[in-house]
Amino acid sequence: MSRCCNSAKLLAIPSKGRLVEPTLALLSSMGIRLISADERALVVQTSWPDLNIVRLRPEDIPGIVESEAAIMGITGLDYLLESEANVNVMLDLNFGKGKLVLAVPESSKITSPEEIPEGARIATKYVNITRRFFSELGKSVKIIRVSGSVEVIPLLGAADAIVDVMSTGTTLRVHGLRPVHVILETSARLITPRRLSPEAEYIVNKFTTFARAVLESYGKKLILMNVPGEVLERVLKEVPAMEGPMIAKIYSRTGREMWEVLTAVAEEELPDLIMRLKLLGVKDILVLNIEKVIP
């Protein structure tokens, strides 16, 4: 019997949409390789012997995880809330960001959801979220369920407004729509069932440890530098560090006291920090990539 049908557990990942590429990039950064001779395969072995991948529509993932058919899933917060699935949210993966917005035609005078008239037709694939939103406003609207391109529905005269995810707003503008309210800010989430076996819990803990390590490494660089002894204290006050920089004495052929300093720095702080360090006399500064940060 193949491993995918035997003891390995399943991680459900999106098969389409804005979350596919960043999800695969995260798995690659974690050291999880997909092992498949056919890119169309829905269940795929990985380089982790105890974990296989199943590719599903992102809107289906919450229900599959809730049913415990998969021990983990990656999907958008928008799909999760729409599904109303009873699952644990383990991590905000900080990619696939977007805004679920209420949008109206450019020609409309409406500027807020409170101005939406009673009985207005709202086209969306987020039926549950939209229903809750207007219910909380105390408004009765007609919700039109759409599974495809929501933006075109007002152009066809079949809806007065839409509720859909906006990334840059370009698609809305192309279709003559403008957002009037942000209902929800969404991004990818790692979810698990409410119950996990000891074996599944071990795999989830391993996965979340490595996922957090990769997320922590984003935007950070490792710098290694040679520091003259007379400016060491001043340099240590300049450089940031998680616990504290690592220092080691260097054997100098010139007899001058020199120290090696190693620390992690946020990338946006790096240019100005390096200029300050050079003014202090720091030499031979190496800037290195960080793959993972495991506390």
Q: Give the contacts of 157 (CB within 8 A, at least 6 positions apart).
A: none
Are 106 and 167 in a shared domain?
yes
Task: Check whether 168 has a pLDDT greater than 90.
Answer: no
* Amino acid 95: pLDDT: 95
What's the pTM value of the predicted model, to 2 decimals?
0.86
Please report whether residue 209 resides in a domain.
Answer: yes
Are 165 and 212 in a shared domain?
no
Domain of 127, in residue numbers: 98-185
Distance from C-alpha of 191 to C-alpha of 213, rounded to nearest angstrom: 17
Distance from C-alpha of 79 to C-alpha of 171, rounded to nearest angstrom: 20
Please report whether residue 295 resides in a domain.
Answer: no
Are 107 and 178 in a shared domain?
yes
Q: Which residues of 134-147 are buried (b: 16+ CB within 10 A; e: fewer)?
A: beeeebebebbebe
Are 125 and 242 in a shared domain?
no
* Amino acid 6: pLDDT: 57
Q: Which two tokens stand for residue 25?
A: 């990039």
Are 90 and 16 in a shared domain?
yes
Please report whether residue 294 resides in a domain.
Answer: no
* Amino acid 57: pLDDT: 95
Task: Check whether 109 has a pLDDT greater than 70.
Answer: yes
CATH code, 191? 3.40.190.10
The mean pLDDT of the chain is 92
Start-to-end C-alpha separation, the chain: 39
107 against 294, higher pLDDT: 107
* Amino acid 11: pLDDT: 98
Task: Check whether 137 has a pLDDT greater than 90.
Answer: yes
* Amino acid 3: pLDDT: 43
Average pLDDT over residues 262-290: 93
Are 128 and 85 in a shared domain?
no
Among 174, 195, 217, the domain boundary falls at 217
Query: What pLDDT, in 10s, does the model give residues 214-253?
Result: 999 998 999 999 999 999 999 998 887 667 788 999 887 7
Helix/strand/coil percent split, the chain, to 5: 30, 30, 35
Are 121 and 234 in a shared domain?
no
Please report whether residue 277 resides in a domain.
Answer: yes
Distances (CA, A) of 36 to 4, 28, 32, 56, 286: 12, 14, 13, 16, 38
Task: Indicate the pLDDT class of residue 210, thresholds 50, 70 and 90.
Answer: very high
Are 282 and 260 in a shared domain?
yes
- Based on the structure, what is the number of domains in the chain? 3
Closest Cα partner for 69 from 12, 108, 120, 24?
Answer: 12
Are 53 and 38 in a shared domain?
yes
* Amino acid 4: pLDDT: 44
* Amino acid 60: pLDDT: 97
